[in-house]
């Protein structure tokens, strides 16, 4: 039994930008209900169900499909959402499988999609998962512990060049080369299987001036987590797949916590909210009109009140868009 199994899921997690997310999704849900339809929203990162519970409470006609790759999160969310009965559909899936999950639930199109990206409170707070560099634990870092390579296995087998690339690309770590060399040297003496040992290796490889400015493990742990879970490649597939499930008038809300994720989301939303008409064309033909319109001016941040109340909201970047033209 984990430390969370006997606790109330609502006490474990404070949803980030909850009111703003609900505000952005509400017009699409209400429009569908006013037309006599049955509104459907996909929470692509269900977690412990905070956003989902609030959506279901706010919209009595809503059906919510919640996706998560973490089986423990699904179990906890199930307890939180049990009072909604069949209106809450939980699916064990990664979010790039969103279109298949929607079809399997018996729907063709949906009215909203919500993504709260990155590592969840559950994963960070449970030491034995190995996500947090502040707590010594086995280096697992898999969001779905039923499959895939652990962080310890990556550290044991990846060549120095691959480790450097992982730290540079996914952690934007300026000391990537130094850290990769240090890890290869350390593992030749003994496997690096616990977070405490990895932190020790990184600290020893970090110049004192840098150690005084930031924790040397922060970006490396982020990079390993992204690599282990394939987060960026999954997100690259998930954004267009999610947008493709939306009916006209449907809305998408994305919350990202690192610049790499936010860039991917921004790229797709901006591209699909622009006309594709060739320059100089006197009349914009219907097939060149934008598919989406942006609902936020750039990326929105949490305000000071929320940052003080919930420190995990500090890095969040929220973007949202509405489908205005069908392409099917």
Binding-site annotation: residue ranges for S-adenosyl-L-methionine: 49-51, 68, 95, 116, 123
In angstroms, the CA 233 to CA 252 distance is: 19
Cβ of 148: how many Cβ atoms within 10 Å? 15
- Token pair 């990155």: residue: 118
Nearest of 103, 83, 187 to residue 91 by alpha carbon: 103
Pairing of strands 88-92, 40-43: unpaired
295-301, Cβ contacts within 8 angstroms, sequence gap of 24 or more: 295/24, 295/251, 295/320, 295/321, 295/322, 296/320, 299/256, 299/262, 299/266, 300/17, 300/20
**Binding residue positions:** 49-51, 68, 95, 116, 123
- Total count of residues recorded for the chain: 328
Q: How many CA atoms lie within 13 A of 321 on its CB side?
A: 27
Strands (DSSP E) along 165-271, which ranges? 246-256
Q: Is 142 helix (H, G, I), strand (E, B) or coil?
A: coil
């Amino acid at each position: 039994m984990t430390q969370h199994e006997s606790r109330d899921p609502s006490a474990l997690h404070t949803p980030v930008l909850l009111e703003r997310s609900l505000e952005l999704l509400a017009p699409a849900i209400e429009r569908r209900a006013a037309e006599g339809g049955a509104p459907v929203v996909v929470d692509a990162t269900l977690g412990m169900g905070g956003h989902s519970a609030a959506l279901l409470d706010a919209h009595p006609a809503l059906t919510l499909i919640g996706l998560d790759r973490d089986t423990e999160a699904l179990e906890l969310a199930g307890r939180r959402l049990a009072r909604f009965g069949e209106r809450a559909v939980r699916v064990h899936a990664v979010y790039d499988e969103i279109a298949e999950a929607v079809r399997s639930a018996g729907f063709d199109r949906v009215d909203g999609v919500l993504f709260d990206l990155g590592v969840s409170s559950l994963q960070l707070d449970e030491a034995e998962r190995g996500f947090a560099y502040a707590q010594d634990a086995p280096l697992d870092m898999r969001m779905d512990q039923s499959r895939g390579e652990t962080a310890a296995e990556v550290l044991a087998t990846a060549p120095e060049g691959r480790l450097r690339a992982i730290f540079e690309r996914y952690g934007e770590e300026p000391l990537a080369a130094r850290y990769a060399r240090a890890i290869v040297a350390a593992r030749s003496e003994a496997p690096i299987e616990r977070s405490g040992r990895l932190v020790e290796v990184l600290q020893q490889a970090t110049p004192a001036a840098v150690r005084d400015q930031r924790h040397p493990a922060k970006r490396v742990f982020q990079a390993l987590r992204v690599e282990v879970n394939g987060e960026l490649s999954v997100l690259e597939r998930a954004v267009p797949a999610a947008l493709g499930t939306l009916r006209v008038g449907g809305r998408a809300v994305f919350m990202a916590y690192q610049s790499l994720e936010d860039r991917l989301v921004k790229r797709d939303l901006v591209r699909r909210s622009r006309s594709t008409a060739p320059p100089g064309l006197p009349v914009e033909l219907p097939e060149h009109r934008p598919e989406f319109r942006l609902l936020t001016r750039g990326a929105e941040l949490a305000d000071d009140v929320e940052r003080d109340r919930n420190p995990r909201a500090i890095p969040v970047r929220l973007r949202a868009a509405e489908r205005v033209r069908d392409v099917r």
